[in-house]
Structure 1
Amino acid sequence: MNMDSSYQIITEAACGLSQDFLKQAEFLTVPMGFTIGNQNYDQVPEKGNSDLHSIYQLLRTASSAAAVTFDTSDLIEFLRPALARGKDLLYVGVSDALGETWHNATRALANLQREFPTRRIEAINSMTLSAGQGILLQHLSKLQQKGASLLEAKEWAESNVSHIHSLAAIQNPDFLVQSFKGNFSNSQNQILQITEGQLLFKEQAETRQEMISCLFKNLQKAALLNTIQSVSIVHADCEKDAQILKQMIQKQNLTHMISISFLEPIFGCQFGPDTLGLFYEAE
């Protein structure tokens, strides 16, 4: 079957996917940003990884940092042209429990539905963020390429979103406490998990190495019960640790599909430098 081009897949810029992939998949990505001190930044740096390293260096000594989501009115203006061209919309967003992004998006989509009553506008709560959201989007791209309709793609996503698991190892709890409400430890080296979209404390590690081992053991335990389809490791300027985790996974042959990438700075502002994230799909 040919690609169903009657609908446009929309997602946020911080979705764990490369700009090349987003362009090839013809996704429409909503701009996002963040602030460090008094300086505003776009989510996508001009110089790639070299810029990301510099941003995290600034973040380590910053007096303040914050993620900046889009306003409802800005998103309406951003999406209106696609609807005016006759496209239906399938919006895939970050978990509703992780800030205002999802809520702003759904308000914008509701307003646009009233403005374009003959167009179909649907939204999927990914129940995760970053590379976890990216895993879901990769599947949706394949489905659309194979001719799946908007409703078929949405139904598949809602049936399979629970197969995507999200863990994060946090070095500095100060960023976390400022960004999220929850029962988090005030100590370093804690493991968090996203369960049904909620960010929850999972366990405490004593050292950095033990924290990496905790991530691996969680994946290893999951592999005893399910087939691990793919793994995405993200790091907030701690690539060496990401490589160590990858080698541990490869040594046990848990999966051969492992990617490593920077954690988007918009989430780095919320989780802090040296965060290590593990996202995997298990069936």
Structure 2
Amino acid sequence: MHPCALCCCSTADVSEEFLRSRDIRYVYFNYQLDGIPCKDDFGRTHTPRDLYARMLAGAEAKTSQVSVGEYMEFWRPLLEAGQDVLHVTLSSGISGTYNSACAARDQLAREFPDRRLIVVDSLCASAGYGLLMDRLADLRDGGMGIVELAAWAKSHRLEVQHWFFSSDLTFFIRGGRISKAAGLVGGLLRICPIMRVQPDGSLAVVEKVRTKHRAERRVVKIMHELAQGGSDYAHRVFISNSDCLADATAVSDLIEAEFPKMDGRVRHFDIGATIGCHTGPGTVALFFWGKPRQ
């Protein structure tokens, strides 16, 4: 057992098997589907295909963050076992969960005055958040202590580049990110909006590209421009998708051909329910280590 428990939320959008293999603990986010409470539990409650089919059929999907009480219940056994805890949260730019985690931390600090409980805002989302956790696990396994790990996360979190595109605008229109008029025109012209996570951790549309094929090429070109080492990039790459694995595979095939020095193959994951409730189906997200976001 590591003296430091490295923890995150299920919104890191990797798999349970992956998190367990890295000895990363996790707490589930929450969502409601037509008013029925569900856990964002890596697709056990609703597979991505089932979730998106229900959403497309008109089911109302709402998400909610981890509560103060849920954080306390999650961390208390770790602290009781004598472990210090470093918890990295989903970006404060898209969720209030960081504030809930800090409130829980402050309450538990009085209960466990001899233990360290550190909360860090990832400013990352989906498998970009997962990519940050993966690197932190490497550093912990290399002997880095909890204080140094937290400092490293804060110093390097903006180096995780997040680039998304979507071939289905339905839920971007419903969520107000794209207007109905723009969505109608975009659908007719086969527009794929390209989005990124900003330095403040929020998601923004930055380009609009015609056709999915061009969007696939565009995000790979962006990786050439921003990746650490450029075309000699030597770190890991994660890709997540919302029920469009073929589109994600088209991107990973390009990356594996054009970045021969990367660390292993591209890892594919599903976009989880929390993020997926907002994107709907048809979204591909590319994550890599790059220049700090500006």
Report the CA distance between 1:13 and its aligned residue.
Answer: 1.4
State the shift of 1:184 in Å.
Answer: 11
Confirm or deny that 1:276 pairs with 2:284: yes
| 1:224 Cα deviation from its structure 2 partner | 8.7
Return the offset for 1:179: 5.3
User: Is 1:266 matched up with 2:263?
Assistant: no
Displacement of 1:213:
2.3
SS in 1 for 2:236: strand
Query: What is the CA-CA distance between 1:38 and the residue it aligns to?
Result: 3.2
State the AA in 2 paired with 1:137: M
- 1:79 matched to 2:79? The reply is no
Segments of 5+ residues of structure 2 without an aligned counterpart are 187-191
Contact 1:37/1:62 (<8 A) preserved: no
String of CA shifts for 1:16-61, please: whole Å, max 9, x gaps.
Answer: 322122223332211223222233332225659x933222222222
102-111 vs 246-255, which moves further: 246-255
Which residue in the other structure is 1:250 paired with?
Answer: 256
CA drift at 1:209: 2.2
Code of the residue aligned with 1:265 in structure 2: it is A
**Aligned residue in 2 for 1:235:** 241
C-alpha distance in 1 between matches for 2:139 and 2:228: 28
Partner amino acid, structure 2, of 1:212:
E
Give the superposed CA RMSD.
Answer: 2.7
> Which residue matches 1:9?
6
Query: Given residue 150 of structure 1, which amino acid in structure 2 is its aligned partner?
Result: I
Query: Is the alpha carbon distance of 1:246 and 1:212 closer, same or farther for their aligned partners in structure 2, counting shifts above 3 Å?
Result: same
In the aligned structure 1, how far is the partner of 2:163 from the partner of 2:139?
A: 26
For 1:56-71, list aligned pairs within 5 A: 56-71=52-67
Deviation at 1:109, TM superposition (A): 1.3
Following superposition of structure 1 onto structure 2, how do residues 45-194 of structure 1 map, counting pairs within 5 Å? 45=42, 51-176=47-172, 186-187=182-183, 188=186, 189-194=192-197
* Counterpart contact for 1:170–1:272, Cα < 8 Å: no
Amino acid at match of 1:221: E
SS at match of 1:141: helix
Superposed counterparts of 1:181-220, under 5 Å: 186-187=182-183, 188=186, 189-196=192-199, 197-220=201-224
1:196-236 deviation line (CA, Å, top 9, x unaligned): 11222210112222222222221122249634322211110
Q: CA deviation at 1:135?
A: 1.1
Sort the Cα spacing of 1:97 and 1:117 in 2 relative to 1 into closer, same or farther, 3 A.
Answer: same
1:115 offset after TM fit, Å?
2.6
Query: Where in structure 2 are the equivalents of 1:35-50 lying within 5 Å?
Result: 35-45=32-42
Quote the Cα distance in structure 2 between the aligned partners of 1:223 and 1:75: 34
Shift of 1:181: 7.4
CA contact (8 A) 2:52 2:281 kept: yes
TM-score scaled by structure 1? 0.87
Residues 102 and 251 of structure 1: is their aligned pair in 2 closer, same or farther, counting only changes over 3 Å?
Answer: same
Aligned length: 279
CA distance in 2: counterparts of 1:235 and 1:186, whole angstroms: 23
SS in 2 for 1:109: helix
Distance apart, 1:243 and its partner CA: 1.0
Residue aligned with 1:230, SS? coil
Change (3 A) 1:36 1:209: farther
Following TM superposition, the consecutive aligned residue runs of length 4 or more in structure 1 with deviations greater than 4 angstroms are: 45-48, 177-186
CA distance, structure 2, for counterparts of residue 181 and residue 105 of structure 1: 27
Q: Is the 8 A contact 2:43 2:273 kept in 1?
A: no
Gaps of at least 5 residues in structure 1 are none
CA distance in 2, matches of 1:95, 1:278: 17
Cα deviation digits, residues 242-272 of structure 1 (max 9, x gap): 1111122223235354111211122100122
Matched residue type, 1:73? G
Identity across aligned pairs (percent)? Answer: 22
Q: CA–CA distance in 2 between the matches of 1:119 and 1:175? A: 43
Residues 55-110 of structure 1, C-alpha deviation per residue, up to 9 Å, x if partnerless?
A: 22222223421222221122212212222222211011111111122221122112
